[in-house]
Amino acid sequence: MSGTEKAMQGVADTLREFWAHRPVRPRAGRKLGGVATGIAMRYQIDPVIVRIAFVALALSGGVGVPMYLAGWLLLPEEGDEVSPLEALINKGRSSMSQAQTVLLGFLMFPTLAYMFGNGGFQVFVTLAASIACIYLLQKNRGHLQPATTLPLQPPVAPVPGAPAWDPLGAAPFAWDLPEPSPAPMSRPPVERPRKSRIGLTTLGVASLVVAGSAIAWSFVPWFTVPHVIGLLIAVLAAGLLIGSFTGGGRGLIWLLIPLSVVGFGMTAVGFDGPADLGSIKDKPKAISDVKSKYGISVGSVDLDLRELPDSGSVTTSVEADLGELIVRVPKNADVKFNCVATSIGELDCLGRKAEGSTPQVDGNDLGDNGEGGLKIDLDVRTNVGEVKVLRD
C-alpha cells in the first residue's frame, strides 16, 4: 500500500471513529440545540470557544448556520437511541418529533442557498477548514472520555442525640466522652496556574500580518482592507483553536467578534477602499455631459437631469453598494427605468414603490405630455439602501 493510500485509509478510519463516538447533545447547559455544548463535552474543551467558532463561521458567508443545523440533525440527544435524522428513517428512537426534524431539514435549503450564492470560493475554503478542524479534534482528542457532570449525593441524616464527631451513631458507648479539640488547620500552598502564552503569541502573529500586508500592498493589489481583515480573523481563530487545547487565549474572543462583524459588513457592501466613500452630485446640461455610469461604494448619488434638452436619448446607470441614490428627471421626458436593491432596501421610482428584501420595480413613464420628447433609459441599483427616481 502506497503512502497516499495509507493516508486516505487513516482519514477514513478517523471519520468512522468520529461517527461511532460522535458528540451527544446534552439536555442541560445548552443554549439552543446543544450542538456546541455537545462538541465541547465530547472533546473536553471550553464550550464558549465552540459557540464563538459557530458565530464566527455564521459571519463568514453564513457557513456556521447550516453546519449547526447539520449537527442538530445528525447528533443524537442525551438519552436517545439515534439522531433525529436517523429516527426519521426508522433507525431508532429520538425525542425530537418528525415534524421538528422535517422543519430543520427545510431550513437547510435557504441557508445553503445563501451560503453558496453569496460566498463563492471563500465559502468552500471556510467549509473545508471547518471540516479539517473537526477532523483534528477527533484525531488528537477522540480518545478522551466525554466530560460529564457528576450527580450530587443526598446528605445522610444524623442520628438524634449523636455528638458531632459521630453523627451516624456508630459508637454510642463513647458518647459521654468530651468533644475532641479541632486539629489546627494548615493552609495548603496555593499553586498558581501557569499562564498560557498563546494569546500574546497570536497577537504577535497578527501584528506581523498587518505589517507584512502594509508592505505587500504596494506590490500586490490583493492585499485590500477586507482581505487583510480576513487574514486577521484566520489568525485569531487559529489562536482560539490552539488555546482550547492549552487552556489560554480566551481574551482573543473580544478581538475576533468585532473583526468578524466588520469583515462581514465590508463583504456585504463590496468595500474597495476609502476612494469609494462620499457623495456624487451631477447636473448635466447637455446629453454629451451625461456619464454612462455613476457609481460609489458607500455614500450618496444625486443625479439631476432636469436641465437636459427636450429631444434626444440618454442611457445611464447609477450604482452603490451602501447608500442613497436619487435621480431627478424632467416632467415631459419618456423614462424607462429599472430600480433594484439586491440585498435590502426601499424603492420609490416614479410612483412605483417597494421595500424589504431584494425589492425591484421597473416600467415606462411617459411624463405629463405623453409619448414624445427626451427619452431616458435608467438602471438604478444598490446593494443596501434607498433608491428614488423623481419628477420635480
Q: What is the pTM of this model?
A: 0.44
The helix-helix angle for 121-141 and 3-20 (nearest 10°) equals: 80
Grid cell 463561521 is found at 57
pLDDT digits over 5-37, tens only? 776 777 778 778 888 888 999 988 787 888 989
pLDDT for position 360:
93
Is the distance from CB of 324 to CB of 279 less than 8 angstroms? no
CA angle 192, 196, 200 (to 5 degrees): 135
Q: Using alpha carbons, select from 359, 368, 365, 392 the residue that is nearest to residue 378.
A: 365
What pLDDT does residue 274 have? 39
**SS3 state at 277:** strand
CA 307/CA 304 separation, integer angstroms = 8
What's the half-sphere exposure (Cβ side, CA atoms, 13 Å) at 103? 5
Contact (CB, 8 A) for 297 and 322: yes
Q: For residue 181, is pLDDT > 70?
A: no
Cα–Cα dist 246/289, whole Å: 65
- 269 contacts 320 by C-beta, under 8 angstroms: no
CA distances from 263 to 205, 275, 366 (A): 19, 18, 44
Angle of helix 253-269 relative to helix 47-59, nearest 10 degrees, comes to: 10
CA terminus-to-terminus distance, the chain: 79
Residue-wise pLDDT tens digits, 244-284: 666 666 677 777 777 776 766 655 555 444 335 678 899 99
Q: In this structure, are strands 334-349 and 352-357 parallel, antiparallel, or unpaired?
A: antiparallel
What was the pLDDT predicted at 265? 60
Mean pLDDT of the region 94-107: 84
Burial state string for 296-330 with b = 16 or more CB within 10 A and e = fewer than 16: bbbbbbbbbbeebeeeeebebebbbbbbbbbbbbb
Q: Taking 60 as the threshold, does the pLDDT of residue 148 lie above it?
A: no
The helix, strand and coil proportions of the chain, stated in percent and rounded to the nearest 5, come to 45, 20, 35
Of 88-97, 228-237, 254-263, the least confident: 254-263
- Residue 175 DSSP one-character state: T
What's the rounded Cα separation, in Å, for the pair 74 and 67?
10
